Amino acid sequence: MKSELNKKEFARKDYLEMFKDISTATATRDLKKEIEEKLWTKSGENRTTHSNMI
């Protein structure tokens, strides 16, 4: 898991692969909250959205 978080960019799909027991909705909320808290930045829109490490 740690190596996945060290990637410079990842998608919700990657997050779901790391945390197999959460729903798509939970993954979306988690990533949105982390972006709002400025832990990650967002690039792309809709299906091409990725989160980027700051």
pLDDT at 1 over 50: no
Mean pLDDT, rounded, of the chain: 78
Range of the domain at 40: 2-53
Tokens encoding 3: 């190596």
Instruction: For residue range 7-32, list pLDDT tens digits in order.
Output: 667 788 888 998 999 999 999 999 88
Instruction: For residue range 31-45, list pLDDT tens digits in order.
Output: 889 888 887 787 777
The contacts of residue 43 (CB under 8 Å, 6+ apart) are 9, 49, 50, 52
pLDDT at 50 over 70: no
Phi, psi for residue 46 in degrees, rounded to 5: 50, -120
- Scan for tokens 């990637």, then name that residue: 7
How many domains are there within the chain? 1
